[in-house]
Chain A
């Protein structure tokens, strides 16, 4: 039994595939005997099946009917095929329109994609069982995998599925031969759209279902938008443009990911090369560090590099303080008090071992807040230190030998060129990646190791020197 109480919250009101209704009217127009698409019979070995249309006819019709360019008609035609309103008769797994003499056919209305008729796994199981009968047990690999998984989790319905499959198969035999061929093609095309074979993408993928009706949220939404501070659109659009231009080559959707996108080719080299503790980063990663200071700090490898630079300059306490604040913000509530006290003792108090240089007012506010510490008590100080590092150390870091050395050593991997069989082999070799528990353990070990390393701040160095009887150091900048 399927759960029948899930209402399509919001999809009825603002369906994400509103284009489907429009496509249906296009389809109806195409059927007109006078002004529609010209059809021709498809000659098979024994039978002749009518109503086949060529790709070039479809594209030509779209160009004429809507007075658009050929490219746009081509894109529109591909959309019709990708949604499953028209299916290709040759090369049925590639849902594109080829503007040549390749043949297509219209799909029957029952198999049209529709917002309110979700594609049921029961139907897919019945289809696979029917296919199993027809192909005498030899299904394609991905179909076999799906079959096994459906058999496992739909086991309680399996008797029904077998019965229905047999009956539908026999009922299908009652029709004449050409109609049987057409029906098989139709059904196969339907499932290519809704259960795409591996390596292809489905046009029906529209993301997560909305669980909340957006219309009921409108009141709150409009109230909040009135209260929001406004920015001139020229400013905000300018910022968007700048962001897009900067990150254009770094977006895996817009530019190819080197060596290859693991989600597409199932090869995890990209992730391995970009891990947090990798010795030599990639060129793209290093370039991202130059975009903004926040980008540098948010990348763990970048932060390591920056820390190394600060160590050479003996001013690592700023970064250490910033990291301690982050730790406080994101840590568990139980350890908050202790952490806050530790931070105060290490960084803020007079004569602290790693004293940071913040202005008097911020110091006052922070010390007062620390009497009743909460998660965000160090926020003001953290922002101050962040701006300090950004304005001062960051600029010097980008010109420093540490960074230049990293930049020089950064690698740029070649793009992978996988053949189809290699892609299948990759898919078979997929394994789960390293467990986050292990990653966290490694991080903690790393942190412990760093804590026991030599002095990194000027105060520590100077205190060491002064302990050896040297003169009082000049005040730090």
Chain B
């Protein structure tokens, strides 16, 4: 009972953070969140059924629930980037089911029953099973779609970023090499903030 209470307390102090890059290791996460408070533990969540390209998630235990809340609201309010930009990480409060080493809930009784084939519920249950499988696939599909969307956005942004960078380079080039100044002289225009 006590164990469970301690666990619940831990849950309150823990943040669930995802949209993490696989490159973000524990040290990085620690350093990132140190500014908010004392990081007690960092544990990555692995479901082993992950698809390629999925973002990683981790559970971070802080020293106090307040720190946890602060972090969550900070991350929610302004984009917090860990180990790469511009995709920001996302954080929310942890829930008991996220912990893989959780203790049993005291007082929980599990009752099971094999159904007789003659039981009218049997039919219903079989149908339920089918539905569940269907649901699993739907979820799978959605996940894939999500990944696709993410990749698409990334691609778009990458292109625009590169375009912006080329423009920047162009401008820099022109000013550095003096072309801009020469042109300005020729056309008798003034250029602002030129190094004199």
Query: Are A and B subunits of one complex?
Result: no
Q: Which residues of A contact B (CB under 8 A)?
A: none
